[in-house]
Structure 1
Amino acid sequence: MEAHPVIPIDITVDRQSVKDALRALLHAILFHRLFGSIKPFYFDVLDVTIPGIEDSEVDRLIDNRVGALYRAMDGYTNKRGQLVVILSEKRAKKTWFGSGEEEYTWEQWVINVEIRQPKNDDERQTLHRAVSDTLARAVRTILDHTSSEKGRAAVPPIRQNEGLSPFPYRIVAKIGGLELQSS
């Protein structure tokens, strides 16, 4: 069986824009990968328009994971971390003593983030332009993958369509390979 696609997105941001940039990336990924009934909205981050999902549960999940990563990275000037979006499906599993279900990952998005603290306004402006360019490229990466043959082939058959997604999904915050506990 072929391994599931892992799509990396690398971003370097300053402390001032890290929450908005990460929130935007997570919303854009979920916008293109939740196949249920969603209410779309659009917002601008550093002059880049990002699609999102208007849903309090999605907002709470995103804010929780971004907040956990931000708190863990707080106080360090060049700290690195990850947000991982895991999309899976439930499959029947036969065991010796009956049957059950197991979760099978069909796609993973890995956002590698580094926070840098600019030393002056020129560095801050340069970094903001770079973040804006990175966000635009990341949205393009999301669009390219989700509309590609490989991206479409990764999606399992949709057997039921209730709620936001017919598939389980989760977002994990990590630093140094260790999963962060959210509050």
Structure 2
Amino acid sequence: MNTGHAIITIDIVLDRRNTRDVLHALLHAILFHRLFGTIRPQTFEVLDVTMPGVADPEMERLVDEKVDAFWKGMENGAKRGQISVTFSGKQQKKSWYVLSYEEDVPWEQWYVPASFLPNSVLTSLRIINAEIKQPRSEEERTKFNQTLAATLSKSLYTMLTHTSSEQGRSVVPPITNANVSPFPMAIAVRIDGAEVG
């Protein structure tokens, strides 16, 4: 499938206890690396991993709303879910009927596809390819938390590597204003194939 724009997916395994915090931190980290206006940085500590974030009331509200929509959909018995973050640029188009018009054309997408089965059933959640799992013992939880912390660090490394690479820099359209998000941006939540939130 050739989409013509960068698609970044991050694989991660989550448990019910950390799902909201991890998704919140991952979405904030993506926004931190892809919002080009003047922002106030903040950090999130998730399992002793420091994740960057954006201290902007509008962005915080948007992230909270999308994580809550995802969580509610999964709590209602859904088996599959996905969070995607799409950055677009305006492009002039011509058609037969209209002389010209502007169209949002994606230049980068970040995915968090997810599967979820409650009560310690192993499933898959996919950035963010994420799998949600419930550790059964304290020893399993300790090992799981160590693995999750390592995966968060690896996810952050993936973000840094992509956004600072020649390919990651070259996809960004010219920045023409100083808004926090100078490009159209959308965060979509899909639960069992239907968009929610």
Q: Same fold (TM over 0.5)?
A: yes
The match for 1:162 among 171, 178, 196 is 178
Quote the offset at 1:94 in angstroms: 1.5
Quote the offset at 1:80 in angstroms: 4.3
Tell me what 1:93 maps to.
93
2:127 corresponds to 1:110: no
Post-superposition Cα deviations, 1:6-44, rounded to whole Å, max 9, x if no partner, equal 110011111110000001111111101011111111121
Q: How is 1:1-183 mapped onto 2 (pairs within 5 angstroms)?
A: 3-74=4-75, 79-96=79-96, 97-111=98-112, 112=126, 113-158=130-175, 160-176=176-192, 178-182=193-197
1:36 and 1:164 map into 2 onto residues whose CA distance is: 4
Number of residue pairs the alignment of both structures matches: 179
Would the aligned equivalents of 2:93 and 2:101 in 1 still touch at CA under 8 Å? Answer: yes
Counterpart AA for 1:44: E
Q: Which moved more, 1:19-28 or 1:2-11?
A: 2-11
Counterpart AA for 1:91: Q
Quote the offset at 1:141 in angstroms: 0.2
Would the aligned equivalents of 1:13 and 1:128 in 2 still touch at CA under 8 Å? Answer: no
Q: Tell me, which stretches of 5 or more residues in structure 2 are unaligned?
A: 113-125
1:12 and 1:80 map into 2 onto residues whose CA distance is: 14
Would the aligned equivalents of 1:43 and 1:49 in 2 still touch at CA under 8 Å? Answer: yes
Quote the offset at 1:181 in angstroms: 1.4
1:99 and 1:61 map into 2 onto residues whose CA distance is: 32
1:58 and 1:8 map into 2 onto residues whose CA distance is: 21
1:163 and 1:52 map into 2 onto residues whose CA distance is: 17
Identity %: 47
TM, length-normalised to structure 2 = 0.85
Quote the offset at 1:163 in angstroms: 1.8
Post-superposition Cα deviations, 1:87-120, rounded to whole Å, max 9, x if no partner, equal 1011112222232111100001112122212222
Counterpart AA for 2:75: D
Quote the offset at 1:167 in angstroms: 0.5
Task: Show structure 1 runs of 4+ deviating over 6 A.
Answer: none
Counterpart AA for 1:143: L
1:4 and 1:86 map into 2 onto residues whose CA distance is: 10
Quote the offset at 1:145 in angstroms: 0.3
Superposition CA RMSD, Å: 1.8
Quote the offset at 1:2 in angstroms: 7.4
